[in-house]
Structures are given as C-alpha cells and as structure tokens.
C-alpha cells in the first residue's frame, strides 16, 4: 500500500543528514520561479545554498517535479525552476493535482512546510511570507501560508512580510490561529525591505539557541503548528519605508485596474514592485534572503544539538 514516503524524493545527502539528526534547512522554489528574474535567480539559488552550508547545515530546496515531492534539487533541476517555463505556483490545495498529473510546480511557503515536515525537516528559510491582503475584508484574500503555520510543525524564518499585505491583520490572524511570532533580536515585526513595520512581535528571541529551545518546548508538548521568526533585513540594505510605501500603493492600484485576482495577485504585485523600484529593491531582496538562510541554519544547528542531547 502506498503512503506519503512513496511521493518523497530526497537526495541521498539530505536523507542521510535527516536520519543522523544533522541540521537541514528547507528552501522554497516560488521565490525562484515567480519571485526573481532569470538568470539572477539561478545565481541566488546556488548562493543561498552556500550560505546554509557555510553555517554547517545542509540546504534542501523543494519543488514538485514528475509526480514527486523533491527535497533537494540538483543543478539541472535548479535551472529548470529558475527558467520557469511552464512551472506552476503550488500552494497546499494544488499539491495533489501536481503529484497525480506530473505537472512541474514551484513550492510556496505552505507546501514547502508540508514537504519539510513529511521529510523530517524542522527549519525553513524564505524571503517573506504571504498573509492577509489589504482589502481582505472585501476580497477574503488570505494566503494559505497562515493556516499552514497553524497546522504544520516547521519554523519559518523570514523578513516578516511586505506591506503590500495588511500587516496588522496578518498578525491578528496569526494570533487567532495560535502561531507564535518571534522577532530575531528585535521587538519589531519586520516589513521585508524595512526593519520595522510599526507592529511588534510576541517575543524578542536573543539567539539561535533560545529559538531552538522554544521550538522544542512547543513540540515536546505535542502542540500542532509552527513558528514565524521575523528576521530584519541587515541595516545597510534596508530601504526607506515611505518610499517603498508609495511604490507598493501604486502596484496595488495597478493590480486593481487590471482586475488581477486569486493566486496571480502576489506574483503580479511582486513583479510590479520590482519594476517600479528598480535594482535597489532587488539587491535588498537578495540580501535579506541570505540573512534569513544564515539565521535559519544557525537555528537548525542549535535544534539538532538539543534533540541529540535529549536522546
Ligand atoms: N512574498 C514575498 N515574496 C515571495 C512570496 C511572498 O515577498 O516570493 C511568495 C511565497 O512563496 C509565498 C507566496 O508563500 O508568495 C504567497 O502567495 P499567496 O499570497 O498567493 O498565498
Ligand atoms: Mn491569495
């Protein structure tokens, strides 16, 4: 009888690491296929994996290819995801369709969490998460990422979320769903390009070891769901909040004018913000993602130590 393991395709290196409780960090592929242009995304895809290795962890980029949940992509598969020809954007609801039909898909935050949890990976680095869109009281556009954080036991390290979302409502939603929102060495929930959003976090985590201890306590209790760790962009790459706000407002207006809805909304907004803000925001985007990979790796290293000591 088939079970979930028959759908997983894990590289031998990652499989060995998971079996021996060595630190592994999951990475998503939507940021590659639908978040960055080619070939800059390919350089990023390799470099972010190097950042993880530099901290003593093993990178596991995920995707859905040929009916398999891929955990770890080889150079050829990374190239396919980055060229993004006929690559869908996969959310939780799309997973089964893609698996059964063999369609190729890039994983957003929700399926990356699902795949990580199935494989036994507890830490995941991304850029920023999806959330409650502005105007959601009318559109009901709320990313599946938020429900996933409530259900699936993975710690997601991201630079908060872009203010194209309603950050206040996003945090309210996470509170209702019981998702701990931690700041990494900050009291402020970050707004992607900016270190502060005007909203606070539940708790300011002082280092990777403390984050790992908090994770272990939650999962020792058997509480379902994960964590969101807001890791602010390094100071030198942070952009001006008001400047970004103007660009984001313009992108939202364009989205409305064009009548774009559903799963196209976020990719459209991301691409438009990038076009309107030029190269500067892209450089910041790369740097915050590297920084998230670094912190996620440090947390994965500490978490593996705690689990080892508890054996
Ligand atoms: N926000 C970003 N960059 C991204 C995404 C969100 O700043 O790349 C991607 C992530 O993969 C996230 C997804 O999981 O968009 C959310 O899409 P939606 O809003 O359609 O749920
Ligand atoms: Mn949506």
Q: For ligand 1, what atom is nearest to the CA of residue 265?
A: 20
Ligand at shortest distance from the CA of 28: 1
Q: How many domains does the chain have?
A: 1
Predicted model pTM = 0.98
Question: What value, to the nearest 5°, has the Cα angle with vertex 14 and ends 70 and 64?
Answer: 5
From residue 253, alpha-carbon distances to 138, 144, 247, 263, 305 in Å are 16, 23, 10, 17, 48
- Sign for the CA dihedral angle at 238, 243, 248, 251 comes to negative
Q: pLDDT tens for residues 223-278? A: 999 999 999 999 999 999 999 999 999 999 999 999 999 999 999 999 999 899 98
Query: In this structure, is residue 143 part of a structural domain?
Result: yes
- pLDDT band, residue 9 (cuts 50/70/90): very high
* Token code pair at residue 197: 């959003």
Backbone angles phi and psi of 26, in degrees to 5: -80, 145
Quick check: CB of 144 below 6 Å from ligand 1? Answer: yes
Q: For ligand 1, what atom is nearest to the CA of residue 162?
A: 7
Share of the chain above pLDDT 70, in %: 100
Question: How large is the average pLDDT for residues 37-59?
Answer: 98
What is the separation of C-alpha 109 from the centre of its chain, rounded to a whole number of angstroms? 5
User: Strand, coil or helix: what is 25?
Assistant: strand
Query: In this structure, is residue 139 part of a structural domain?
Result: yes
Calculate Rg over the CA atoms of the chain. 18
Structure confidence at residue 3 (pLDDT):
96
Has residue 279 got a pLDDT over 80? Answer: no
Query: In this structure, is residue 117 part of a structural domain?
Result: yes
Has residue 304 got a pLDDT over 80? Answer: yes
Ligand at shortest distance from the CA of 163: 1
Residue 85 among the catalytic residues: no
Which residue has the least CA distance to atom 2 on ligand 1?
A: 128
* Token code pair at residue 294: 């670094």
d(CA 131, CA 149): 11
* Token code pair at residue 184: 């990494």
**CATH code of residue 279:** 3.40.1790.10
Structure confidence at residue 231 (pLDDT):
98
Query: In this structure, is residue 35 part of a structural domain?
Result: yes
- Asked if 116 and 151 count as a contact pair (C-beta separation under 8 A), the reply is no
Residue 162 among the catalytic residues: yes
Share of the chain above pLDDT 90, in %: 97
Quick check: CB of 183 below 6 Å from ligand 1? Answer: no
Q: pLDDT tens for residues 144-184? A: 999 999 999 999 999 999 999 999 999 999 999 999 999 99
Query: In this structure, is residue 311 part of a structural domain?
Result: no
- pLDDT band, residue 280 (cuts 50/70/90): confident
Q: pLDDT tens for residues 87-139? A: 999 999 999 999 999 999 999 999 999 999 999 999 999 999 999 999 999 99
Structure confidence at residue 82 (pLDDT):
98
CA-nearest of 177, 179, 132 to 154 is 179
DSSP secondary-structure letter at 63? E
- Pairing outcome for strands 24-27 and 123-125: parallel
Residue with tokens 């507890």: 122
Domain region containing 70:
4-306
Ligand at shortest distance from the CA of 162: 1
- Which residues, at least 6 apart from 42, have a Cβ–Cβ distance to it below 8 Å? 32, 78, 79, 82
Best of 30, 81, 272 for a ligand 1 pocket test (most atoms within 8 Å of beta carbon): 30
- pLDDT band, residue 54 (cuts 50/70/90): very high
- pLDDT band, residue 18 (cuts 50/70/90): very high
- Pairing outcome for strands 105-107 and 58-65: antiparallel
When the pLDDT of each residue in the chain is averaged and rounded to a whole number, the result is: 97
Query: In this structure, is residue 53 part of a structural domain?
Result: yes
CA-nearest of 186, 162, 288, 280 to 234 is 288
Structure confidence at residue 11 (pLDDT):
98
d(CA 215, CA 208): 11
Query: In this structure, is residue 217 part of a structural domain?
Result: yes
d(CA 63, CA 48): 16
* Token code pair at residue 125: 């680095």
Q: Which of 70, 89, 104, 162 is catalytic?
A: 162
Question: How large is the average pLDDT for residues 26-39?
Answer: 96
Structure confidence at residue 273 (pLDDT):
92
């Amino acid at each position: 009888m088939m079970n979930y393991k028959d759908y997983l395709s894990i590289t031998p290196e990652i499989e060995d690491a998971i079996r021996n409780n060595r630190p592994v960090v999951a990475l998503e592929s939507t940021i590659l296929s639908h978040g960055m242009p080619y070939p800059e995304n390919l350089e990023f895809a390799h470099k972010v994996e190097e950042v993880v290795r530099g901290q003593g962890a093993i990178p596991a980029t995920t995707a859905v290819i040929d009916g398999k949940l891929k955990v770890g992509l080889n150079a050829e598969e990374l190239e396919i995801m980055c060229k993004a020809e006929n690559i869908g954007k996969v959310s939780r609801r799309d997973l089964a369709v893609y698996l059964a039909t063999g369609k190729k898909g890039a994983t957003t935050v929700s399926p990356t969490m699902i795949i990580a949890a199935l494989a036994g990976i507890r830490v995941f680095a991304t850029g920023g998460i999806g959330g409650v869109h502005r105007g959601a009281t009318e559109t009901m556009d709320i990313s599946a990422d938020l429900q996933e954080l409530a259900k699936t036991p993975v710690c997601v390290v991201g630079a908060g979320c872009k203010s194209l979302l309603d950050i206040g409502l996003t945090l309210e939603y996470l509170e209702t769903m019981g998702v701990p929102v931690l700041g990494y060495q900050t009291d402020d929930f970050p707004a992607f390009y900016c270190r502060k959003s005007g909203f606070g976090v539940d708790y300011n985590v002082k280092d990777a070891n403390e984050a790992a201890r908090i994770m272990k306590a939650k999962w020792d209790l058997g509480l379902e769901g994960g964590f969101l760790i807001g890791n602010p962009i390094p100071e030198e790459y942070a952009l001006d909040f008001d400047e970004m706000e103007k660009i984001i407002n313009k992108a939202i207006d364009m989205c409305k004018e064009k009548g774009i809805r559903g799963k196209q909304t976020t990719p459209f907004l991301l691409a438009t913000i990038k076009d309107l803000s030029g190269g500067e925001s892209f450089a910041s985007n790369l740097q915050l993602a590297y920084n998230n990979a670094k912190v996620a790796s440090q947390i994965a290293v500490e978490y593996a130590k705690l689990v080892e000591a508890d054996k």
